[in-house]
Chains A and B, each alone.
Chain A
């Protein structure tokens, strides 16, 4: 057996590590709330004392604890820069600044420190998901954001968010209004290369935005497994971010006014399409330092919708699949973000009255979710209202939505 010459060998693949991930059940409860962009800590139902770290009884009076929104102010008490760590993730990011902060809410906590913060200074705390998907406190400078204080310029902060500038981003369906707006927003945000997926039947490929220097058009059919794998292999640069805007919206019921072929195609695009796209993209994203998979999803996924039964079912299946994808990606540091929307202001929802979400607004919300590293976002009044009601009483919400 002959070996290839030494100079032709590939360098070792850079393995992406994530921070240590073991957490208590109480801490997972905080991560679930952090994923929704909330700043919540436990407070005592008897004496109102706020507790940190998360725990299972109030240390002041042994009362029961409940999660509550808290004020995010803090003062820095002490600081260090860690130069030595035995953890593979942090070893790759040394030195790492952290400190002790006195929260206005009451307790003292350890936190990641923005580079401009020193002991005695005021800070604004943010709860962020780390690269392993677990909640962590991050202290940002209080007051106005000068250049020096800009979070996006902070090396540690960038580990908690998904930068877009200079990155390669795939938009899975740029033929529809949502995807088209996404392509436009990404070019404006300075993405290095926007790969715009157009199904073979798309006809208006002459839109000026698709001719932009930073846009590459690919013929992507999410209903065809071989096509998806082939197309992802043809992209000029390794993908950093995938934004899945594809879906197939048709009205109709289950036993009445139903078209089985339409229901089946909706499932092919929303659910099977997600699996095809994730299957082909995941290995590429996992090798990138700040990979992300963003899925745009209808809030109808939460509870079904008698008026759009097939579409809602397809979106439910998609939501289920994306939860599993998030689990699979956790060990690779790839963030899986879900952006929920109500009816969008496009050809698919001409029969519905307002409020509807403008495609440009949806695209801006996706960019904001990436910039904030927020795992779950609801765009527009319909989606926000639905999520709020679903979180409080899912059984009631399902009943009300399908009355």
Chain B
């Protein structure tokens, strides 16, 4: 059993497996060319190991020379991808150096095949057969060196310089583990291989060529670094996705809280909305009971009562449904809706509040066919918020001036909602903080109203602006893109 054969074959096998793995990864993600380069290097290392094995078993000078030519070709196939791998992976600025190394190696390859005994030897005088420590024979060549061998040696030094420089840059840029692993492994093992081979060539060291083992180490280190960084990226991506999901949830919760606090403010108004139909149902039911107690119950009247009861029940459940939608933790759901209808529905919710505060509301809803692509609950929240702000703004206004105007208008392909009050307007020092969450100029409010409105409006591709009107009071303007007619 030849230990040399076993060792070099295992080396070749390991390189091939790494190469296949990298090739597989590249096929899954063709955009990541580093995988392809890494695969090419691994297969080149495989070839190097096999040729080295053939070299040490060879007994014919001519064959040995040819094998040396192919050995150099394999080195070329490893070194050139390696340089570009470093370029891609460490992001070196000295691209010209990588190009220079590539051209030197191209020249080396050409020259290598011009000489029958490769670029290494001008003439191989003889093949020496040595014995390993355990007595296994292997061949090395001795003869006169080819002066051109300087070319690949210079190229190797340039590679070392290039990789070391790229590694240093990457280290400084903060990519320390990657710099150490990529540049460190390449420099260390290139040095080992690059020192051992010329020593063997010069006859100063009696061992077989062992470049392939250095290459195996390099290929392994690079593949490991790639896998590790892919793993890190995927962890980071997962964390990012989780953080995004958390943020989205927090936003939704904020909006829900905003709505809840808004509804708290409007509780009296909403209670009234619910109370009316309930009172009507009770009165109707008791009227019916009394009518049925009489011998000549009027069937028509009873039918009318039942119809009214059904209608009022629907009215009450509409209010509840509406409230539930506003309070629920639900994902936003975009639909095509008529803003005029939405405005009327929402204004109805604050009707009782307006009456109690003796505020006159003017509603100018424009054309009901002005549609927007929007989340109904979100839009209602915006309108409710603006109404509630305006109602609060009118708190200390003399009764004659308690006016609030809601108007819809159209500007090209935008819908414009204006909420204007005749209150005292917004003080200059408050103006810059209006959209800050938690900033509040009126105690008792949650203070996120406008911040939430802005978020919701902007999520719909719209804008919101606040200003004081020249004739007193404040105006909030919301613009939203109109839905295209035939989308």
A and B co-occur in one complex: no
Q: Which residues of B line the A interface, CB within 8 A?
A: none
Q: Which residues of A line the B interface, CB within 8 A?
A: none
